[in-house]
Structure 1
Amino acid sequence: MEGQEHENMTEGLADIVGEIFSIREANIAASIALAVILISGGSNLYNWTQEEYDVAKEAATDDQWLIEFNVSVSTAIHEETWQDEEKKVVEFYMDDFELPDGYLVGEIKVIVKPDADSNGTTLDPIAQCDSIAANILNDGGLTAQWDSEENVLSGQDSSCEWIILKLQTYPGYDGEDFNSSAANEFQALLPWSETGWGEGMLSVEVELDVNTVEEFGPITQDDDEDITIEVEVSGFIASATLIK
């Protein structure tokens, strides 16, 4: 009887140990399977990441392009007489300036010219150069880069010299060719294809202050000035050439 109980106990212990070993083997098998899955998934993830990196790297590697500007200039001239201490505003409609199709307005130059014949001629040898002040007015009537450091919006002269003012209309435009980085020609030219700049009306304010001298004999005092305002509108169209 006692031997049979011992035998039963031994068999039960063997069953327990066998079950433990079977569970351990199952865990090992499951661990191996999980490891295989992780390795396979990691390999696939690495391959996918590498492919995406190569694509992104290729897209991010920009070519070098030479950006060139073909420039066309349209001019308007206004001549008028100013009286002493008179201030006038002369308006120029941008639609009146003719540029080739596809050209964009890059910048505007205003040249204010005094009448040279009225300053120190043989008919009036003691005449002096009059004082002229000129301004490009930012009155909201013209789309331009009013805050650009390249602008010259005001000027004054009393030595019979021309007053030259300048207003940049297109963002970043200075008329000079330059190199640019871009993935393709379309992207290289994209910054130079915006429409809407240089539209509206240009307002130029001019004020005259006649310099007088004491009368000598029959010489007549000068109390006015013939002033010419010349406006040059520079239009451009850009092209891009791949630099090899």
Structure 2
Amino acid sequence: MFGDSEANRAILATVFVTIVIFSYTGSDLILNQREVVQYAQTEKEWVISFENSIVDDDEDNMTFTFNDIWAHQDEKVIDFFLDDVQVSEGFAIGFIDVKIIPEECNGAAESEGRCENGIWISDGGEWECDSISATLMGDNSTLTGQWYDSGNSLSKSDSGCEPLYLRIVIYPEYDEHNEVNQSAVNEYQALSPWKVGGWGQGVVSVQINVDVNSYGGFGPLDDSEELTIEVRVHEFRATATLNNMSL
């Protein structure tokens, strides 16, 4: 009988110790689970980085190119169809640049002569630089983009034989970012603003007007202007990295 009593006390002691251990362990598990849930639901700081490139099928560092001759007071609208190009997988269009290059003094290796105060001077004579104006035409019904973005340059003009540069921002809030900070619960939410589809669809329409200037210097009469249009579609892909300061 005495032996049974000792055994019972030993069993009870073991059970008590086990209960205490499980109580502490269970409490720790519950606390840890709460911490994990709280961490998962808490916004953290993410660093969003951007990989940038030009949509370029033939490795000439441009997406489209076009060359034509404008007569005096000609107005032409040249269309470039974005359906004809393939954006890289996982990328979106950030912005589109258009460069209009006059035949005189355009920096090309085969271009002879020099420009001085709006006059093109070469061995063959002197000509006044032609007046050129260019405008990106359209709205979201023809090209989905940020038509009212402060980073746009939708219209330019020049009479000094210099190239014209136009730009339209396509993706919301995109401005050639290197890195930006984003508050979000997880990586998916951090990247979601940069994975919205539908932007950069349609036609890039460039309207160009030319007034040929021939001021009566020596050389053949200037009655036309040859222009080259270069279009560069800039694409980007965003990646998110957790900022260690938010851990």
Which TM-score bucket, shorter chain as reference? 0.7 to 0.9
Query: Match of 2:170?
Result: 169
How far does residue 87 in structure 1 lie from its aligned partner after superposition?
0.5
Quick check: which one's helix share is greater? 1
Residues 1:77 and 2:65 are matched in the alignment: yes
SS at match of 2:49: strand
Query: Which amino acid counterpart does residue 89 of structure 2 have in structure 1?
Result: D
Asked whether the 8 Å contact 2:40–2:186 carries over to 1, the reply is no
Quick check: which one's strand share is greater? 2
Query: Match of 2:90?
Result: 102
TM-score norm. by structure 1 comes to 0.72
Residues 1:67 and 2:38 are matched in the alignment: no
TM-score norm. by structure 2 comes to 0.71
SS at match of 2:190: helix
Asked whether the 8 Å contact 1:72–1:99 carries over to 2, the reply is no
Describe the superposition over 1:99-158 as per-residue Cα deviations: whole angstroms up to 9, x where unpaired: 21121111000111111248322212x111111000000253111111111111000011
Asked whether the 8 Å contact 1:153–1:167 carries over to 2, the reply is yes
Query: Which amino acid counterpart does residue 63 of structure 1 have in structure 2?
Result: K
How far does residue 211 in structure 1 lie from its aligned partner after superposition?
1.1
How far does residue 196 in structure 1 lie from its aligned partner after superposition?
0.8
Query: Which amino acid counterpart does residue 226 of structure 2 have in structure 1?
Result: D
Q: 1:200 to 1:174 in 2, by over 3 A?
A: same
- CA RMSD, Structure 1 to Structure 2 (Å): 2.1
SS at match of 1:195: coil
Query: 1:1-244 maps to which residues of 2 (within 5 A)?
Result: 61-74=42-55, 75-116=63-104, 117=111, 119-124=120-125, 126-139=126-139, 140-176=141-177, 177-214=179-216, 216=218, 219-244=219-244
How far does residue 97 in structure 1 lie from its aligned partner after superposition?
2.5
Describe the superposition over 1:187-215 as per-residue Cα deviations: whole angstroms up to 9, x where unpaired: 00000001110001110000101111125
Describe the superposition over 1:22-76 as per-residue Cα deviations: whole angstroms up to 9, x where unpaired: xxxxxxxxxxxxxxxxxxxxxxxxxxxxxxxx99975663211110111120221
In 2, distance between residues paired with 1:170 and 1:201? 15
- Segments of 5+ residues of structure 1 without an aligned counterpart are 1-53
Asked whether the 8 Å contact 1:80–1:226 carries over to 2, the reply is yes
Asked whether the 8 Å contact 1:73–1:99 carries over to 2, the reply is no
Runs of 4+ in 1 over 3 A off after TM superposition: 54-61
Query: Which amino acid counterpart does residue 166 of structure 1 have in structure 2?
Result: R
Query: Which amino acid counterpart does residue 190 of structure 2 have in structure 1?
Result: A
In 1, distance between residues paired with 2:152 and 2:185? 32
SS at match of 2:94: strand
In 2, distance between residues paired with 1:127 and 1:138? 34
| Larger CA Rg, structure 1 vs 2 | 1
